[in-house]
Structure 1
Amino acid sequence: MFKNQELQLNDYKKSYENIPVSLDSLDAAIMAGFQKAKKEERKKKRSYKWVYSFVAAAVILLGFFATIRVSPAFANAIANLPGMEKIVEMVKFDKGKMSAVENDYYQKIGTSAEKNGMRVTIDGVIADESGMVVFYTLTPEQKKEYFDIQAAKIISLEGKHLDPGTTGFGSPSNEEGMDRYTGELEFYFENKIQGKKFQLDLSLEGEEFSIPFTLTKDIKVSQKYTINKTIEIEGQKLTVVSAEVSPLRTGVHVKMDPNNTKQILALEDLRIVDEKGETWGGINGGVTGSIISADEQIIYLQSNYFHKPEELYVVINKLQAVEKEDMTLVVDTEKLQILKQPPGNVLSSLKIEDNNLVFTMNVKKFHGDPFGEIKDVYGNVIETHGGFFRTSDEEGIKEFGIEMPDMKTVKGPITIELSAYPAWINGEAKVRIK
């Protein structure tokens, strides 16, 4: 009855184009998203918690994209660059990356390394002050369904310190009818990128590859805007502190009022809008934000760096929010009872499958990962190994699971912190950036 889909990330995306997509395509996108998500390497700095959207962005693709409109200038640029079609295929759902290619900011590299019948080629790079996206091709002697990338990192060959923040890499995809596989690697750093000479170190199928490369273009300087304006939606206040626009993404720094009665879990439709109504929304598959604290975070959006609007606004209409006193679930794993949950009883039942604690949720429009830190009756943190969700043929019924390797030893009620929940407040808030 249920269709398994694994989940690791929060729901965070707003529609870009109102174009329908088949459920089969949606399912494929979800699984591709998970494969990318589960390869994430995370390093916490200054109490930042990185937030990802690989699966979540895939989940809400319905009504989001199947095709995308490209400008004549973009089409002409690609027509004059043989081999760029595969790069376009990977960036076409991100307006910022598309714009970087259109504005000749994509840097063709073409360096390779080969070991034991596997050649890895760096096709090209898009880099800004905060990070870089590396586009690559694998050419193996023998085709296979799946190639496993265990690790990836970028180092400077000029002695410049690169402080890793997040690294994202998924399974490369096979070009139909071809004996090669393409993909992209995302690297973001805590400090600004300096220099032009770097090296990609890649662990692939048990082999280590080191590929030096040189950037041919100067890294463009980010555009910074100080805002410090407070908005209010249904009595809950938040301040838009600043915005920083770079070629790869836009970061919007927000602080919630600590006196709010509700905990704001997600700013689901936060977006950038120009004077003509053109919109730049959330990241489609990548890092969607960094949580500084419970009341402060940076939301990452698609970049409008190469677009030169006369006016630019931050717009918010919908916040995912729960009363602070309702921010935890209390569950008796022995009696299989939900002892405490937010009003509405959205979570209807509980069961155990092997080492998985599985909840049934009655809700239509929610695809986030609701569960955060889990503690036992003594306040000790319980180890978890990710989770999953399953959708039902019956509309509005979903199952969310948490894998707990020590499930059999858990005694007494446990407390689960909420990280997302199907509860929203709505309003109209618009803050001018420029």
Structure 2
Amino acid sequence: MRNGYDPEREYGRGSEGESPPDPRVQSVAEEVPGPVDPLDARLDEAIAAGIKRGQAEKNRRRRALRHRSVAAAAACLALVACLFSIRISPAFATMLRDIPGLEKFVDLIENGDRGIKLALENELMQPIGATDEHDGRSLTVNGIIVDESRMVVFYELRNDMNMEPFRMRSPELKDPQGQSLLAGYSYGDGGEATVERGRNVVRGTMDVWLQPGLSWPDKLTLTVASGEELPKADPTRLSGPSYRVGDELPPEDSSGPEYRVSFAIDKAKFADMKRVYPIGKTISVEGQKITFQEAVVTPLRIALKVGYDPANTKKIFGAGDLQLVDEAGHVWTSNGGQDTTIYFESSYFNQPKELYVEGSWFRALDRDKLEVVVDLDKKRILKAPDDRLKIENVSRSSNGIKLSFSLDNVPEEDKMIYASLFEGGPLKDGAGKSYDGWSSSSGGSMMNDSGKREGYMNIKELPYVQPLTFQLFYYPSYIREPYRIRIW
């Protein structure tokens, strides 16, 4: 079980049938289909980075930059979405099997988010059962669980058993006007496809985080790309090339129909299901003031809101080992965060007598060290917080400019991969001109036994004047002081 909040997770993409990865290496990248490990401590960095970049893009163009982390080694983010609960009771399994179309999801709800299980036990599931089918392949939305700001979608993909299994690909959620939902989301499945009546069946879940201040529309449409359908005997799929983090990947195939499933949201199911607990406690960590403002409990998560004093001499990137603990010592697991809000699995339907927030360190950096200046032509770093950050390579391709970097001597306790090292906001060039929307993707990896991180950014090819000035999104610099604060 994950004990601390850590806002990172994505994975590197490899072809099917490649050799098993080096177990010492853990990788992240922008979008890759495949199975998800819901208990990884780096689950949420991708979600946090993606939502932050999405918000920056929204402010500039008033539209969402959707963050899709997926698993294969995102998915997530997250995640993820196959992130479900503790050992389920026979009564609960029977209850779920009684909902048409959902009986096959029992095995997915095994190890993870207790709040999801409790929401199901308390009848928050909304059965859907809507399907779109083309050319022998189909997408079904079996059901949803939703509260005021989070939704979990249960989906099912089917195709002929002689073909490669049909998996979730480039999903989007749209409102009745056809506009993309302003949300972060991640998705994943149970890994291996099952075969039922001569058809591959892939069942998975999609976790959707609505941006703060927004509300759900009455109806949503899930769209999924199909791509090329390949036979299982295709040798290029059985022994295709493997990819390292940062390698240029072939473009995704956009052929085939788009799958579209629309479904309504019954808002009465979760109306008024919210409890707010004021905290209002401020701590000082190495002279930096941090205020725990309030906890908001809804059926699918606890939102812990934190504030940082504007007069702080350091920028605080977030808590490193923050967790929620009840009076019996049980830990309520973090499942993400954005800006100054940290999310945890929900205690709404099983509220402990007492709940505490505790931890001992935060990531923070002096405000005069937040810029990194890089000359891409000379492949040199001109300014950085310290000498641990190094450029490994700068290359140009049809995808733009790929900046590869490394980061040394990250402590073992810090499980963040630092893939999205730089802010998604404006980039300034040597002539003082600012550029928005300059980054197309990022990824990274970590060697568990060395404290080293390796990452990359794909930068759009624009008429920059060197050098370029980036703003750090986070960095492995710390302030430390143990704390324990009662929430209720």
Q: Deviations over 1:18-55 (max 9, x none)?
A: xxxx97689788579754969x7885368999999878
Aligned to 1:17: none
2:141–2:261 CA contact under 8 A, matched in 1: no
Q: Which of residues 221, 242, 260 in structure 2 aligns to 1:200?
A: 221
| Root-mean-square deviation (Å) | 4.1
Report the CA distance between 1:325 and its aligned residue.
Answer: 0.9
1:271–1:316 CA contact under 8 A, matched in 2: yes
User: For 1:31-430, what aligned pairs fall within 5 Å after superposition?
Assistant: 34-35=32-33, 44=55, 70-71=86-87, 74-79=89-94, 81-82=96-97, 84=103, 86-89=105-108, 92-141=111-160, 143-145=163-165, 147=167, 149-153=169-173, 155=175, 164-170=181-187, 175-178=192-195, 179-189=200-210, 190-193=213-216, 198-205=219-226, 206-213=257-264, 215=266, 218-219=269-270, 221-283=273-335, 288-291=336-339, 297-343=340-386, 345-354=387-396, 355-364=401-410, 365=412, 366-368=416-418, 369-372=420-423, 373=425, 374-382=427-435, 383-391=438-446, 395-406=450-461, 409-430=463-484
Report the CA distance between 1:324 and its aligned residue.
Answer: 0.9
Which residues of structure 2 form unaligned runs of 5+? 1-5, 11-19, 35-45, 227-256
Report the CA distance between 1:327 and its aligned residue.
Answer: 0.9
Aligned pair count reads 395
SS of equivalent to 2:295: strand
* Separation in structure 1 between the aligned mates of residue 337 and residue 479 of structure 2, nearest angstrom: 20
Find runs of 4+ consecutive structure 1 residues off by over 6 angstroms. 22-29, 45-61
Report the CA distance between 1:319 and its aligned residue.
Answer: 0.3
Report the CA distance between 1:375 and its aligned residue.
Answer: 1.9
Report the CA distance between 1:245 and its aligned residue.
Answer: 1.0
Q: Deviations over 1:262-301 (max 9, x none)?
A: 1101212222221112111321xxxx2232xxxxx22222
2:137–2:159 CA contact under 8 A, matched in 1: yes
1:51–1:289 CA contact under 8 A, matched in 2: no
1:87–1:135 CA contact under 8 A, matched in 2: no
Which one has a larger percent strand, Structure 1 or Structure 2? Answer: 1
SS of equivalent to 1:96: helix
2:363 is matched by which residue type in structure 1? Q
Report the CA distance between 1:68 and its aligned residue.
Answer: 9.3
1:96–1:304 CA contact under 8 A, matched in 2: yes
CA distance change for structure 1 residues 86 and 207 in 2, over 3 Å: closer, same or farther?
A: same
* Separation in structure 2 between the aligned mates of residue 50 and residue 151 of structure 1, nearest angstrom: 10
* Separation in structure 2 between the aligned mates of residue 376 and residue 208 of structure 1, nearest angstrom: 42
Report the CA distance between 1:193 and its aligned residue.
Answer: 4.4
Report the CA distance between 1:231 and its aligned residue.
Answer: 1.3
Q: Deviations over 1:345-374 (max 9, x none)?
A: 111444213321122221344412322243
Report the CA distance between 1:333 and its aligned residue.
Answer: 2.3
* Separation in structure 1 between the aligned mates of residue 85 and residue 209 of structure 2, nearest angstrom: 28
Aligned to 2:232: none
1:301 is matched by which residue type in structure 2? F
SS of equivalent to 2:439: coil
CA distance change for structure 1 residues 222 and 154 in 2, over 3 Å: closer, same or farther?
A: farther
* Separation in structure 1 between the aligned mates of residue 25 and residue 94 of structure 2, nearest angstrom: 32
1:98 is matched by which residue type in structure 2? K
User: For 1:9-20, what aligned pairs fall within 5 Å after superposition?
Assistant: 10-11=7-8
* Separation in structure 1 between the aligned mates of residue 350 and residue 321 of structure 2, nearest angstrom: 21
* Separation in structure 2 between the aligned mates of residue 388 and residue 243 of structure 1, nearest angstrom: 32
Q: Deviations over 1:203-231 (max 9, x none)?
A: 43232423335649721511111222211
- Comparing 323-332 and 180-189, the one that deviates more: 180-189
1:12–1:282 CA contact under 8 A, matched in 2: no
* Separation in structure 1 between the aligned mates of residue 66 and residue 293 of structure 2, nearest angstrom: 19
CA distance change for structure 1 residues 217 and 118 in 2, over 3 Å: closer, same or farther?
A: farther
* Separation in structure 2 between the aligned mates of residue 216 and residue 111 of structure 1, nearest angstrom: 19
CA distance change for structure 1 residues 358 and 162 in 2, over 3 Å: closer, same or farther?
A: closer
Report the CA distance between 1:320 and its aligned residue.
Answer: 0.5
1:333–1:411 CA contact under 8 A, matched in 2: no
CA distance change for structure 1 residues 311 and 54 in 2, over 3 Å: closer, same or farther?
A: farther
* Separation in structure 2 between the aligned mates of residue 69 and residue 103 of structure 1, nearest angstrom: 14
* Separation in structure 2 between the aligned mates of residue 306 and residue 340 of structure 1, nearest angstrom: 51
Query: How many percent identity over aligned positions?
Result: 25
CA distance change for structure 1 residues 404 and 70 in 2, over 3 Å: closer, same or farther?
A: closer
CA distance change for structure 1 residues 171 and 80 in 2, over 3 Å: closer, same or farther?
A: closer
CA distance change for structure 1 residues 25 and 232 in 2, over 3 Å: closer, same or farther?
A: same
2:297 is matched by which residue type in structure 1? V
Question: If the length of structure 2 is used for normalisation, what is the TM-score?
Answer: 0.68
1:12–1:268 CA contact under 8 A, matched in 2: no
